[in-house]
Amino acid sequence: MDYKNMNPESLMMSHGYKPELSEGAIKCPIFQTSTFVFKNAEEGKAFFEVAYGIREKEKEEELGLIYSRLNNPDLEILENRLCLWDKAEDCAVFESGMSAISTAMMEFLKPGDLILCGRPLYGGTDHFVNHFLEKMGIHSIGFNSDMSKDEIIKLVKESGHKLAMIHIETPANPTNALFDIEMCSDIAKELSSQEEKVIVSVDNTYMGPLWQHPLEHGADIVLYSATKYIGGHSDVIAGACLGSKELIGRIKGLRTFLGNMAGPWTGWLLMRSLETLKVRMDQQAENAKYVAEFLKQHPKVEKVYYLGFIEDDNDPIKTALYKKQYKAAGAMIAFDVKGGEKEAFKFLNSLKLIKLAVSLGSTESLAEHPATMTHVDIEADVRKRLSITDKLVRLSVGVENSKDIIWDVEQALEAI
C-alpha cells in the first residue's frame, strides 16, 4: 500500500497542501489575495506562456500563480482533493452549481447544435437550456428514464439536428427515476463523428461524490452543485466540474473569461467540508434507511420513493441498473401522503426538528413540497407524468439521531 492507493477520506486533510510553503500551518490558510508577486520578470513571462497556451508545460513545471481569476491555492488544492473521489484527471470549481453547469454547456455547444436532456432536470438547468441556450440557437429535446436506446436515437434523428451533448441527472429529482449512464455513453459514441465527439455530462449532485461515479460508466464530465453534499452545512453556494485534463482544460479556459470561479473563502470552506464528507454521507444514508422503512409502514403514507426499495418493484432491469451504478441508496426520500396539497402542507407545517426548506445534502434534515416549490416551473402534464403530484413530499435526511428524525416525521404525520 502506498499513499496513492489510500482512500479519499484518508487524504482529505492533507492532499495537495505543503505546510512548509505556509509557515508550517497545519491547515491551508485562506489565500485572500487577488494577485501574486513574481520572483522576476522571466518567471512572470513563463507563467503567462503556460496560462495562455503559448507553449506546453515542461515536464516538471507547475502552473505558476498569477491572478486569482486564473488560479489560487485554495482552489487548486480543493480541485486536487475533489479529483480523488471521482478518480478524475482534473476539476474546475465554480461559485455555484449553476455556473459549473452553464459554463460546461456553453463550452461544448454552439448555435445549431442539439442537446439531449434527461427529464426531469434541476429547475435552474431546465431554465438555462430552454431559455438561454434556446436564444443562442441551440436546440434541445428531452427523454424519459423508461426510453430505450433505439427510441432515443430515433428521437435525435427525427429532430434533424446535430447532437453535441447529452445531459442527465440520475437518480432524477425528486422521484429517484434511474438513467443508464453507460447507455447514454453508447448513444454518444454512435452519434459522434470523426470531427466532433458527443459529450455526456452527468449532474451527480444527488449521489456524489460517494455513492455514484459517472466517469467509471462512460460519462465525459461530472457536474456538482457543491452547495449540497460536498459543502454539506447549508452555508456556502459552490459548484464543480470534473473529467479529463483535456475537457476540464477547455472549461477552465472559459471560466477564466467568464470570471465565475469560486473565491478563496469558498475554496477554504469546501476543503473544511471535505474532511468530514464520508462520515456525514455514511450517517445520512444510514439514517435515510430507517426513515424510509418507517414511512413505508405508516398508514398515512401512500408510497415511498427511495432507492433502497428498488428491488420491491420486481423490475430486473431497474434492479440490475441500480446495482451497477450505485454504491448506496443515498439519503433522499420522497413520499406521497394520503390526500393532496392540504395534507402535505399540514405535514410540512407540523415539523419541529426538520426544517421546511429547499436544497439538500446538508447536516440538517430538510423537507419541501416539489409540486409548489422546486418543480413548480415544470408544465402540469409533465409533472403528472413524473409523479410530482400535490401529495408528494421530499425529504433530505441529515446527520441527526435517526430516532429523533423519525419522532418528528411521526408527530407531523399524526397532525394530518
Q: Where on the chain is the footprint of ligand PLP (CB under 6 A)?
A: 96-98, 122, 124-125, 169, 173, 203, 205-206, 225, 227-228, 237, 239
Question: What is the smallest separation between the CB atom of 225 and ligand PLP, expressed in angstroms?
Answer: 3
Q: Which is nearer to ligand PLP, 215 or 223 (CB)?
A: 223
Question: What is the smallest separation between the CB atom of 149 and ligand PLP, expressed in angstroms?
Answer: 24
Alpha carbons 389 and 189: distance in angstroms, whole number: 36
Alpha carbons 348 and 364: distance in angstroms, whole number: 15
Q: Which is nearer to ligand PLP, 173 or 362 (CB)?
A: 173
DSSP letter for each residue of 94-115? ESSHHHHHHHHHHHH--TTEEE
User: Around Cβ 77, how many Cβ atoms within 10 Å?
Assistant: 20
* Nearest residue to 226 via CA among 265, 276, 274, 177: 274
Q: Which is nearer to ligand PLP, 100 or 295 (CB)?
A: 100
Question: What is the smallest separation between the CB atom of 228 and ligand PLP, expressed in angstroms?
Answer: 6
Ranges of beta strands (E only) in 180-331 are: 199-203, 221-225, 239-243, 301-305
Question: What is the smallest separation between the CB atom of 5 and ligand PLP, expressed in angstroms?
Answer: 31
Q: Which is nearer to ligand PLP, 185 or 227 (CB)?
A: 227
Copy the grid coordinates of residue 222. 461530472
Question: What is the smallest separation between the CB atom of 175 and ligand PLP, expressed in angstroms?
Answer: 13
**Contacts with 200 (C-beta within 8 Å, 6 or more apart), sequence order:** 165, 166, 168, 181, 184, 185, 188, 218, 219, 220, 221
Q: Which is nearer to ligand PLP, 156 or 307 (CB)?
A: 307
Q: Which is nearer to ligand PLP, 203 or 220 (CB)?
A: 203
DSSP letter for each residue of 279-294? HHHHHHHHHHHHHHHH
User: Around Cβ 19, how many Cβ atoms within 10 Å?
Assistant: 12
Question: What is the smallest separation between the CB atom of 374 and ligand PLP, expressed in angstroms?
Answer: 8
Nearest residue to ligand PLP by CB is 97
